[in-house]
């Protein structure tokens, strides 16, 4: 259920950004720190494999299968499953429907302009970090 909620939230924000923002133009939210910038990412994380949409879709389905086989066997990973699954599915929807992922969070931290990302990316990263710590905790 959490995965579905995360997908709906991310897709709603992406719809808003796609509808009301101009491609490549930033809307300043907190000057010098945080903008909403509408970008269309044809690659994976940090634009790796740009313009390889079909390959990324295939890899996404493989990851979903691995998640199903491994994480769904372990009941203690409910939040991890929801975060990673919600993130992968939301970005996969973009890739299948549009051919690219809509990114929008744009941070400038101490003069470093971080890559633009979205809620789905946050879910995947946080889910993987929690999974890593839980796995290390078990050993």
Say which of 10, 94, 106, 121 is annotated catalytic.
121
Over the range 10-22, which residues count as b (16 or more CB within 10 Å of their CB) and which as e? bbebbeebeeebe
Q: Verify whether residue 121 is a known catalytic residue.
A: yes
Q: Which of 10, 94, 103, 106 is catalytic?
A: 103
Burial status of residue 77 (CB atoms within 10 A of its CB: 0-12, 13-18, 19 or more): buried
CB 9 within 8 A of CB 119: yes
Decide if 103 is catalytic: yes
User: What is the C-alpha separation between 87 and 122, in angstroms, rounded?
Assistant: 8
Q: Which residues are catalytic?
A: 103, 121
């Amino acid at each position: 259920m959490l995965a579905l909620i995360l997908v709906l939230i991310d897709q709603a924000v992406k719809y808003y950004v796609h509808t009301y923002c101009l491609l490549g133009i930033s809307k300043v939210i907190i000057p010098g720190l945080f903008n909403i910038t509408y970008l269309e990412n044809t690659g994976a994380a940090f634009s790796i494999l740009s313009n390889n949409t079909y390959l990324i879709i295939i890899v996404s389905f493989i990851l979903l299968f691995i998640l199903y086989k491994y994480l769904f066997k372990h009941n203690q990973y409910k939040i991890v499953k929801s975060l990673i699954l919600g993130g992968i599915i939301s970005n996969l929807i973009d890739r299948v429907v549009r051919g690219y992922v809509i990114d929008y969070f744009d941070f400038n931290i101490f003069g470093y302009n971080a890559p633009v990302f979205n809620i789905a990316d946050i879910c995947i990263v946080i889910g993987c970090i929690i999974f890593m710590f839980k796995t290390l905790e078990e050993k």
